[in-house]
Structure 1
Amino acid sequence: MPIFSSGGFGAWRTPGNGDSPFVATRSLDDGTLALTVHPGADVGDLTAILTTLPADAFFTEHFGDVETTLIFQRVPGDSAVAPAVVMPSAGPAAASVTHP
């Protein structure tokens, strides 16, 4: 079986529930998140697994060269996620642009 798809994402090699054997995440004891990417992973695999990471996780380091593990950590302290209700300013300063 070739590692490069000739069709759409997933259907040619990952039948069933859509889980990919080519990417995986796991939480370490210290709260660090490890994302492992195996050869053969495609953009669909990476997109699907990255959406499972918390919005306030940031990339810190990597290990490996062919089978790669990316390490993400959560932002310490307050979450970087925007509040659920945002009240944008409607004042004139919000619409003004200064020119040099």
Structure 2
Amino acid sequence: MTKLSRIFATVCIAGIMLIGAGCSSNPTVDASSKSAFNESVKEIQSSLPEEKRQEFQETLTGMAMLVAMQTGGDQAKMRSFFDGMDYDAIMKKAGEMRREMNQ
């Protein structure tokens, strides 16, 4: 294999990896502003199958209420709690919160 062929193959493999990484990422919460938060939550919700949307909305609402109580109603702190979380992370954290409350 010539040097040019190896460089080309490396670039192709790197490109495929980057494309694959971009396609596999789930939408996440953006807490940079109230509107970004709302839009990112809508994006997560719309990415879900219909049967998971209501459960997600109810879970998110319940968690937001608990976090708002813990932060004294500070909306920015409440939003930052969710920053960067995707559907799976939110549902996992909700399960942890439920277990803590039941202890």
TM-score, length-normalised on structure 1?
0.23
Higher strand share: 1
Using structure 2 for the length normalisation, give the TM-score. Answer: 0.23
Structure with the higher helix share, 1 or 2? 2
